[in-house]
A and B are shown apart, each in its own frame.
Chain A
Amino acid sequence: MKAANPSSFERTPSADVPPVLEVRGVWKTFGDAVAVESVSFDVADGEFLFLIGPSGCGKTTTLRMIGGYLEPTRGDIYIRGRRMNDVPLEKRNIGMVFQSYALFPHMTVAENVAFGLRMRGVPKRERAERIANVLDLVELSEFADRYPVQLSGGQRQRVAIARVVVYEPDILLLDEPLANLDRRLRDSMRVELKKLQEKVGITTVYVTHDQEEALSMADRIAVMEGGHLLQLGTPSEVYNSPKSPFVATFLGNTSSYQATVSSVDGTFTDLEIDGGLTVRVVNGGDLEPGENCLVSVRPERVALFKASPPEDQNVFRGQIDFLSYLGAGVEYIIRIDGTDVTIRAHEALPAGQPSHREGESVYVAWEPGQTVYLKG
């Protein structure tokens, strides 16, 4: 098992500051259907937490329960230590950015942003000042008197954020805020959002089904599937040390196989893949011979060699079945000789031309430590 890459830019919640948000054993059922099942997590002050999972896994439902738009069937939600279950949503001081933005079409940008301040009885002069500041922050100052229909998608989205950031909510909730934007805008808004969140320092829960968004922006990621929270950790933890097959395959590309432990010796363990390959992994000390497990390896950890592959690695000879050109890189699918096992390898292309061709015979190699295994 690969240890997490400790990187300096990842903030982890510190123990001395109490969490801003605590979700404790929360369930939500609609009739007989269970949408969210026993979900628990904490979000620290200023943390950027991502809820990620496939469509229908219960992300929106979880977010709406935090915001007070839905009542949990069971379980408790605390904000700054205060139980929120029976607090009506207008009393929660939470900022929710809807996927549709939900800007008031009959109000100008400034009036939309003023709404939350008016409801909090902020005096007119202070209101004007704070609106000006926040519009400056999202670079929409010259659009203050426009109506939402007169704005582009990206501008509307920034208004939706300004509208809630302006009253300094305890928690910012975002439901797939970039899903309605085109690709280029999405990429630049990703950077903008992350910068903004750091600048304002607001505790944020962000829902997405886009793993790139989650990996690039999150302090921590909570992976959900079928109403369950499967794993919660830093991006590199969930990417490099998935605790379940679902997490392993959902985040990023991977080649994964069912395998049986064939022999255990000290640091290394040999696993027999169903197709007939033997793969070597670094033993975490928890594998017994005969046990079943899932092994996987990331395409970017797999190297290709025309000849003389390195020793002490997992090395197999195979043939390139398929090559897909991705612009910044190439992905190869290689079939291992004498088996039906295929493996993906990723090659970055700083110089432009792929090093291999379809049909070519190559050696694939990766370090045993790069193989992830999951028991069961």
Chain B
Amino acid sequence: MTVVETDLGGYQKTVVDRLAPYAKYLLLSPMILLMLGFFVIPLLWLLRISFYESRGASGFGIGGAAGQEGGGFYVEGTWTLDNYVRFFTDDYFMSVMMFTIGFALLVTLVTMILAYPMAYYIYRAPPKLKTALILIVILPKLSNMLVLVYGLQMLLANNGLVNELIMLVGVSDEPIKLVYTLFSATVSKVLLVIPYTILVITATLHTLDPSLREASRGLGASPFKTFWLVTFPLSVPGTLIALLITIVWALGAFVSPSLLGNPETQTLRSRFRSRRSRT
């Protein structure tokens, strides 16, 4: 933009005049302040702490409270890379990290495979069914996350509904261990994330001009080819955003693995190891 400075007949620009064009950024300020205060600054602080020398103590306040002589688990004002060296060379930490990433990828894969068809179905549904389906998708989000996870825990328990059904149908004579497995951890995490994924993909599909689909059919494409050549490629950008949201959420997985997963990290680690070495 080129602004030509003109002589305004001796009129001097005041501070307010000069600041006026920036007024629109005021709209952003509450969000920016929140992010700064509760996220960016603590994160930077944490980053700084990660370069402190360790005191060797393992926990909070063990060996005396922070601030006291010899207290806390780090030595303030020091600089070292030891913590990073330890993290990247320690098998335990590495396996936890690899598990976290692997778990996130698994959850993302399952979520995307389930979410896209569901979103497409909602997109193509007649108006009333569409509203009902969207409500069903959002409904779990109205309950507390812990309620959801504990409910799932009960459902998948050895004497839970799922196992009773399995035995009733006769698939197995004794209950199958479902809870505290990778399976139950994945199911619960997928259930927690998938509403967002579905909503984002559904919204993306709704931004497509419906006459594109008609045009494709009119030009001679079958419904499947229309989906494959027109609808799907055009939904890719929005679907990638949904994918990103899902991955980030799954990476932050904490509640599901800890409440429904296997507490013995050793088993998890070895299971994950053997899986990885096969591929």
Contacts and interface: CB of A to CB of B under 8 A. Distances in A.
Interface of A: 67-69, 88-91, 93-96, 98, 100, 102-106, 115-116, 119-120, 163-164, 167
A68 B219 CA distance: 12
Interface string B197-237: 00000000000010110111111111001000110011000
Contact of B220 (A69, A105, A167): A167
Interface in B116-144: none
B211 A119 contact: no
Contact of B212 (A89, A104, A116): A104
B219 A115 contact: yes
Nearest to B212: A102
B219 A100 contact: no
Contacts of A88: 217
Ranked nearest first, the 8 interchain pairs of A and B with the lowest CB-CB distance are: A119-B220, A102-B215, A102-B211, A116-B219, A96-B218, A98-B211, A90-B220, A90-B217
B216 A115 contact: yes
Interface of B: 209, 211-212, 214-222, 225, 229-230, 233-234
Contacts of B218: 67-69, 89-90, 94-96, 164
B15 to A, nearest CB: 42
Contacts of A93: 220
B219 A119 contact: yes
B234 A96 contact: no
Nearest to B219: A116
A116 B209 CA distance: 19
A163 B212 CA distance: 13
Contacts of A163: 219
Contacts of A104: 212, 215-216, 230, 234
Most chain A Cβ neighbours within 10 Å, of B209, B217, B220, B233: B220
Given A90-B220, A120-B220, A98 B225 contact: no
A311 B257 CA distance: 103
Main DSSP-derived SS at the B contact region: helix
Contact of A69 (B214, B229, B234): B214
B127 to A, nearest CB: 13
Nearest to B218: A96
Contact of B214 (A102, A106, A164): A102
28 contacts: A69-B214, A89-B217, A90-B218, A90-B219, A90-B220, A90-B222, A91-B220, A95-B218, A98-B211, A98-B214, A102-B209, A102-B212, A102-B215, A103-B215, A104-B212, A104-B230, A104-B234, A106-B233, A106-B234, A115-B221, A115-B229, A116-B219, A119-B219, A119-B221, A119-B225, A120-B220, A164-B218, A167-B219
A147 to B, nearest CB: 13
B215 A90 contact: no
Given A104-B216, A105-B234, A115-B229, 18 more contacts: A69-B214, A69-B218, A88-B217, A90-B219, A93-B220, A94-B218, A95-B218, A96-B214, A96-B218, A98-B211, A98-B214, A102-B209, A104-B212, A104-B234, A115-B216, A115-B221, A119-B219, A167-B219
Most chain A Cβ neighbours within 10 Å, of B212, B215, B222, B234: B215
Nearest to B222: A90
Nearest to B236: A106
Contacts of A116: 219-220
B215 to A, nearest CB: 4
A310 to B, nearest CB: 56
Most chain A Cβ neighbours within 10 Å, of B218, B222, B225: B218
Nearest to B221: A119
A91 B220 CA distance: 6
Nearest to B225: A119
Contacts of A100: 209, 211
